[in-house]
């Protein structure tokens, strides 16, 4: 049977594309259930979009590429869909929208929209090979020991990146794109915790504090979380996408208040107290103890000159450390790099040199910040490809 469209990958982008691609659409996935990354996202509540989503929240070798898709299917369009399905949601922080109940509500919503659109879904189906034919594409699959061949006019690569391999992530989209001479930009783990050798921060594991963190000239004001293996929390995940290996990262532990002025004021009221004790009034005690050792803070507060207090404030507003690396794809929320956007139409997501081949979602070199932006790219790019396919006769 000749399908009009076959979509590889029943994740966020693939399902969204299936909703809009029109009749004769088949979605194939090797997983036992659709939308597995949706299910585990946001602690099981799915941070499905961000009310502030815009092109500036994305990394790509071509920062303009995402503009067309994001403007034609916005966060407000997706919110309308969520509301239409009666899914209760709330804003957490910084525009992040989460389901009140469960991420499974979003999966169910997409499945019911797919059903309404007449799209079919085949799970537990592994892709053996993809070939170009005169009529389009031929896909050899394997399902529960049986081989089956499918043909289609349009083929959509929506299998994501390499992040979280235990969820079944592979580099399949890159392999197929490469097979058809689409350029692949180097990939690496993004939105991922940093690691440090010898359990450097192990005694601080579990301590969190609001900071401003920077890497490669880009800063984020969110929390840092110390872990057994290194540094995590929203601020660290955000800057990990900008960090380059062997570069230091910079952390300001007091972005919203002047530590020098605070210590000077406390010198009048708490002068007899140990410097480390007073520092513990301004940040978590364990963290203050750590920096008392690291910065060799000794003596009472009353004995410290302005110059000494300023030096402490400067050290804690520009704390520089160089990670050994990151936790890699194992825990990364996204994959940076991937299918070069130069090979694709920004309006339709179709390969310029190979009509009928499309790439959407995380497989493409468009990576969002933490906070619902990557889901928005999935919805927007899936809609762009789906509506373009639907318009074809």
Q: What is the pLDDT of residues 194-223, one digit of tens each?
A: 999 989 999 999 999 999 999 999 999 999
What's the confidence (pLDDT) of residue 256? 86
For 147-161, letters b (16+ CB in 10 Å) and e give eeebebbbbbbbbbb
- The C-alpha atoms of residue 125 and residue 35 are separated, in whole angstroms, by 15
Q: What is the pLDDT of residues 342-380, one digit of tens each?
A: 999 999 999 999 999 999 999 999 999 999 999 999 999
- The C-alpha atoms of residue 75 and residue 14 are separated, in whole angstroms, by 17
% the chain with pLDDT above 90: 97
What is the rounded average pLDDT for all residues in the chain? 97
**SS3 at position 256:** coil
What residues does 3 pair with on adjacent strands?
152
For residue 30, which of 169, 144, 126, 163 has the smallest C-alpha distance?
Answer: 126
What's the confidence (pLDDT) of residue 1? 80
Q: What is the pLDDT of residues 76-102, one digit of tens each?
A: 999 999 999 999 999 999 999 999 999
Which single residue is written with the structure tokens 């919203």?
A: 256
What's the confidence (pLDDT) of residue 160? 97
């Amino acid at each position: 049977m000749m399908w009009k469209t076959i979509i590889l990958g029943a994740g966020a982008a693939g399902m969204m594309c299936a909703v809009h691609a029109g009749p004769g659409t088949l979605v194939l996935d090797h997983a036992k259930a659709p939308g597995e990354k949706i299910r585990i996202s946001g602690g099981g509540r799915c941070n499905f979009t961000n009310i502030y989503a815009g092109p500036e929240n994305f990394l790509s070798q071509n920062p303009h590429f995402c503009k067309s898709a994001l403007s034609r299917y916005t966060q407000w369009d997706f919110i309308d869909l969520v509301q239409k399905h009666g899914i209760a949601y709330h804003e957490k922080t910084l525009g992040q929208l989460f389901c009140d109940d469960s991420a499974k509500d979003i999966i169910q919503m997409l499945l019911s929209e797919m059903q309404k659109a007449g799209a079919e879904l085949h799970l537990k189906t592994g892709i053996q090979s993809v070939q170009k034919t005169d009529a389009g594409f031929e896909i050899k699959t394997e399902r529960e020991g049986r081989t089956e061949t499918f043909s289609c006019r349009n083929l959509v690569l929506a299998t994501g990146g390499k992040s979280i391999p235990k969820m079944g992530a592979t580099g399949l989209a890159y392999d197929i794109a490469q097979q058809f001479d689409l350029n692949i930009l180097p990939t690496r783990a993004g939105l991922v915790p940093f690691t440090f050798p010898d359990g450097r921060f192990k005694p601080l594991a579990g301590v969190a504090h609001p900071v401003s963190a920077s890497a490669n000239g880009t800063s984020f004001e969110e929390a840092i979380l110390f872990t057994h293996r290194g540094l995590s929390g929203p601020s660290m995940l955000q800057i990990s996408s900008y960090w380059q290996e062997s570069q230091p990262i910079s952390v300001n532990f007091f972005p919203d208040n002047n530590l020098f002025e605070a210590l000077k004021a406390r010198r009048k009221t708490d002068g007899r107290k140990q410097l480390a004790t007073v520092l513990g009034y301004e940040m978590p005690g364990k963290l203050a103890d750590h920096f008392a050792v690291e910065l060799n803070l000794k003596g009472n507060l009353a004995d410290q000159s302005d110059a000494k207090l300023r030096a402490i404030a400067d050290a804690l507003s520009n704390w520089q450390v160089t990670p050994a690396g990151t936790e890699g794809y194992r825990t990364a929320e996204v994959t940076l790099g991937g299918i070069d956007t130069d090979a694709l139409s920004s309006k339709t997501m179709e390969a310029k040199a190979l009509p009928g081949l499309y790439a959407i979602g995380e497989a493409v070199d468009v990576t969002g910040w933490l906070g619902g932006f990557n889901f928005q790219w999935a919805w927007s790019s899936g809609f762009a490809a789906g509506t373009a396919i639907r318009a074809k006769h």
